[in-house]
């Protein structure tokens, strides 16, 4: 069962992915911004895993 925090994390990952795709296909001028935004996705997922591990220890 997904908790509200899991849904928020998945929504933030989806928003980052859609933003990355939008910037990537806008043209050559926004490729750097798209690559920067793409690095948010693994960062968000890593923080989510970290907080799940901490919550599991308690």
Find all residues with CB under 8 Å of 6, minimum gap 6, and list them: 48
Q: pTM score, two decimals? A: 0.84
What the block records as the tokens of 55 is: 């919550």
pLDDT greater than 70 at residue 58: no
For the chain, give every domain's residue range. 4-57
Cα 46 to Cα 54: distance, rounded to the nearest angstrom: 12
**Dihedral, CA of residue 20, residue 49, residue 6 and residue 55, to nearest 10:** -150
Cα 46 to Cα 33: distance, rounded to the nearest angstrom: 21
pLDDT in tens, 4-52: 999 999 999 999 999 999 999 998 899 999 999 999 999 999 999 999 9
Cα 54 to Cα 30: distance, rounded to the nearest angstrom: 37
């Amino acid at each position: 069962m997904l908790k509200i925090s899991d849904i928020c994390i998945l929504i933030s990952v989806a928003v980052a992915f859609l933003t990355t795709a939008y910037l990537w296909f806008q043209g050559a001028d926004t490729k750097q911004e798209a690559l920067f935004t793409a690095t948010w996705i693994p960062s968000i997922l890593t923080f989510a895993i970290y907080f799940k591990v901490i919550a599991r220890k308690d």
